[in-house]
Structure 1
Amino acid sequence: MKKSCLIISSIYDFSIDLVIQELEKSKVDYIRLNKENIHKHQISIDPEKKTISITGNGINRKIKKIKSIWFRQPIFLRNTPEKSLSLEDQLSKSQWTAFLRGLMIFDDAFWMNWPANTYSSESKPYQLMIASKIGFKIPKTQISNSFNEAKSFQEKIIVKSLDTVLLRDGDDCLFTYTSSVKKSDLTYETIGSAPLIVQNYITNKTDIRVTIIKKHIFSVKITSNGYGIDDDWRLLKKDELEYTNIELPKKIKSKCYKLMVALGLNFGAIDLIESNGDYYFIEINPTGEWGWLSNEDRKIELCIAEALS
């Protein structure tokens, strides 16, 4: 019986494109469903027999055995739409979201990652609590819309959103970044409408991205002109950034693996900060991007392809 890989993705997910190249080289059978076009298929699942049938839009398959599932798109609609959605569109999006969660009937497949674990791991308060519990240092943190403990923070602080923010303003799409501000700038009038994450600013920092796929770990430091970047490195142009492979200390590696186990993840993109020899946990993204870290040896794609196949 042919075993297939099911990939739930997006038409704009270029990291998936890299993995699919490796799957095709290895002649692994796969089906890719993009969230933007999922309504163009006719899809049926049988929760008792654990089968899935997909027809339409170039696919005609009935699968009795799914070997692995990569749930790359757990959040169906994060941004505010350009215009009010019709009742039909609202119903469609809500029910397709529930349908995708229903793929958990394939509980004997290898998941990258199990949906329930992805949802819980996306909670920044929860991941910070778990990281602290297993021994990671984390910056002093408060999550609030009132900032009651301002006096206990240093003057320069970091503020960021609780979740990815994609907002639409007319024809413009707005995205928020991590920002450094003075704590005196935070008042109920400026932040009272929505909670945010406030953390002490860490000086002399170097950003580190750690990508873990099962037992494989890839660590890269992110610099500009050989130096750490004061604010959010994503604000710099691509040609101003340098990605350098590094070897993490054994204790930090061990904590990264323990974090993955505690969160029940097979894949994770961890952001750390190194400052004066200390390593701080910042966050983990269970569906994080990594295509921008890819290099000629294609190790990350190969590891993901191997796990899926």
Structure 2
Amino acid sequence: MILIISSEKDITTHIVIQWLKKYNADFLFIKTEDLSSLNSFSIDNTSEKLTINNVDFSTINVVWHRRGRLKFLDSSSLNNSNLFLYLKREEDSVIKSLENFQRSTSKAYIGSYIKEVENFKLDHLSLAKKCGFRIPKTLVTTSKKELLHFKLENNKIITKDLRYPVNVQITKDTYLSSKGTLLIDDSDIELLDDKFMPIFVQEYIEKLFEIRVFFYDSTLFSMAIFSQEDEKTIIDYRNYNDEKPNRCIPFKLPDLIKDKILKFSNESNINTGSIDLIFSSEEEFIFLEINPMGQLDWLSKNCNYYIEKEIATSLILKNA
């Protein structure tokens, strides 16, 4: 049987399910919005057994963990926020162990809740460099002096969220981070104290276009994004212009870059996701970051890749 773990709201998931139904595939869909029932997870000296929603997971051959996580904790029944946070941490440790167990017993486990929540830019930049990619010069610092020096060395620098978007409420005010990437100038730095919480900055690299690569197992789908043609998206295509979207076309990656991506996938133990690259004005491929979940709907439609069909076919073959 094929198990799909994903959000009910995820468009990609529903398109893949449509293909699975077309091919009469045997599958189970667990919605991450629903409260699941962990009937038992038993371990002794001779065996291990997992049962969720009365399904014996020994019957699961292939897992596609598209997005989100299983949920066993009913938050609506808890009035104490501190108790909820404690139980949520306990639940999280169980969920991660269940994923590791199922990964070790299934024929294939594509995707990962663990990799999604442990998506650390610094680790991935370091690994990408080891895999042969060029990466932007990067600094994480708590020092105004170091930040000014980095700005002087690189002339133009950018910043973006290191892990989580800002969403902080202080009294009546809510502070949200801007989308995408922002340039930093000297006046921004001058507003800072001499010491502050760690800030993530990189050199700004002039580019000809951006590249989004979605990979599933060992199959790559790539698209060129001509963000340089619009002042709103020239720094980062994620500063979207909804009225005049960037031109996006299928893009054929050189074999050398494909090999580096597959090496990165293998070394990081991430078998599906989206990688952002840029093609610089010096005609070099630069690694920026990876999203272990990876949005693919717009890439599939823009380039007529029918990625959802490819995923469904792959799941069926792995389940055979």
User: TM range, normalised to the smaller chain?
Assistant: 0.7 to 0.9
SS in 1 for 2:34: helix
Structure 1 pair 308–47 and aligned structure 2 pair: CA distance change class (3 A):
farther
SS in 1 for 2:109: strand
Aligned residue for 2:291?
Answer: 285
CA shift for structure 1 position 188: 7.9
- Matched residues in 1 for 2:55 and 2:266: separation? 34
Asked if 1:35 corresponds to 2:32, the answer is yes
Aligned residue for 2:202?
Answer: 199
SS in 1 for 2:238: helix
- Matched residues in 1 for 2:194 and 2:63: separation? 40
Structure 1 pair 74–35 and aligned structure 2 pair: CA distance change class (3 A):
closer
The match for 1:222 among 213, 221, 225 is 225
- Matched residues in 1 for 2:228 and 2:176: separation? 28
Aligned residue for 1:268?
Answer: 273
Deviates more, 1:261-270 or 1:66-75: 66-75
Matched to 1:272, the amino acid is L
Asked if 1:90 corresponds to 2:85, the answer is yes
Aligned residue for 2:315?
Answer: 308
The C-alpha deviation readout for 1:250-273, integer Å capped at 9, x for no partner, is 222221111111112211211001
- Matched residues in 1 for 2:80 and 2:313: separation? 40
CA shift for structure 1 position 181: 1.7
CA shift for structure 1 position 172: 6.8
CA shift for structure 1 position 199: 0.5
Asked if 1:124 corresponds to 2:121, the answer is yes
The C-alpha deviation readout for 1:236-288, integer Å capped at 9, x for no partner, is 23452222101112222221111111112211211001112111100011112
Structure 1 pair 137–45 and aligned structure 2 pair: CA distance change class (3 A):
same
Q: Could you tell me the percent identity over the aligned residues?
A: 29
**Where does the alignment leave 5 or more consecutive residues of structure 1 unmatched?**
none
CA shift for structure 1 position 211: 0.9
Aligned residue for 1:174?
Answer: 176
Report if aligned partners of 2:41, 2:51 keep a CA contact under 8 Å in 1.
yes
Taking structure 2 as the reference length, the TM-score comes to: 0.79
CA shift for structure 1 position 73: 3.9
- Matched residues in 1 for 2:166 and 2:80: separation? 17
Report if aligned partners of 1:141, 1:198 keep a CA contact under 8 Å in 2.
yes
Report if aligned partners of 1:207, 1:272 keep a CA contact under 8 Å in 2.
yes
Aligned residue for 2:40?
Answer: 44
**Where does the alignment leave 5 or more consecutive residues of structure 2 unmatched?**
none
Asked if 1:111 corresponds to 2:109, the answer is yes
Aligned residue for 1:237?
Answer: 241
RMSD of the TM alignment (CA)? 3.2
Structure 1 pair 226–232 and aligned structure 2 pair: CA distance change class (3 A):
closer
The structure whose Rg is larger is: 2
Deviates more, 1:198-207 or 1:106-115: 106-115
CA shift for structure 1 position 203: 1.6
Aligned residue for 1:54?
Answer: 52
The C-alpha deviation readout for 1:52-96, integer Å capped at 9, x for no partner, is 3333xxxx533422212233346789xxx9xx9624532442233
Taking structure 1 as the reference length, the TM-score comes to: 0.81
CA shift for structure 1 position 18: 2.2
CA shift for structure 1 position 190: 6.0
- Matched residues in 2 for 1:290 and 1:187: separation? 40
The C-alpha deviation readout for 1:86-120, integer Å capped at 9, x for no partner, is 24532442233222212211213111135655555
Matched to 1:194, the amino acid is M
